[in-house]
Amino acid sequence: MSFVLNTQLEGDCYNLGTADDCCILLHKNALVPWFILVPHTNENEVYKLEAHLQSSVQKTTYKFATFVESHFTADKLNIATIGNIVPQLHIHIIGRFINDFCWPAPVWGQSATTNYSDEELVAIKQALKDNRLI
């Protein structure tokens, strides 16, 4: 299978690497820690994945959720596979805070945005490496 990342995901995110059969992305909007896992598959729904890939994706989601909650001290996690605009299967793992830019509303479709600095990106990648996530 030839994996090709959806162009919208590619444009909206930093590609941090690969882990456990998933492309690991960080959304460019630094207002909340927003990771996106893109399994290497042509399927568009988690339940359609072969058992071994479904298990791998579930474990990777768990690892990233645990990382986001502990590393960023998130008050709440939003984990979703919506796919209404981008049909490629992808899992959002978003750390939310009771004082974030749009709490308690969802982050999708919000116009507020700020970019990560180069230093912040390096620090996040290093933290992921230190935690053996990438």
CATH of the domain at 47: 3.30.428.10
Interatomic CA distance for residues 35 and 122, integer angstroms: 15
- Say if 105 falls within a structural domain: yes
3-class SS letters over 48-88: HCCHHHHHHHHHHHHHHHHHHHHHCCCCEEEEECCCCCCCC
Cα-trace Rg, the chain:
14
The whole domain housing 102 covers: 7-130
Cis upstream peptide for 33 (omega within 30°)? no
Query: 3-state DSSP call for residue 127?
Result: helix
* Predicted confidence (pLDDT) at residue 61 exceeds the cutoff of 70: yes
Q: How confident is the model at residue 3 (pLDDT cuts 50, 70, 90)?
A: confident
Residue 98: inside a domain: yes
**Single-letter code of the amino acid located at 126:** Q
Asked, for residue 1, whether it belongs to a domain, the answer is: no
For residue 13, the surrounding DSSP H or E stretch is: strand 13-19
Residue 44 has pLDDT above 90, yes or no: yes
Asked if the structure places residue 2 within a domain, the reply is no
Residue 1 pLDDT > 70: no
Checking if the pLDDT of 98 tops 90, the result is yes
Domain tally, the chain: 1
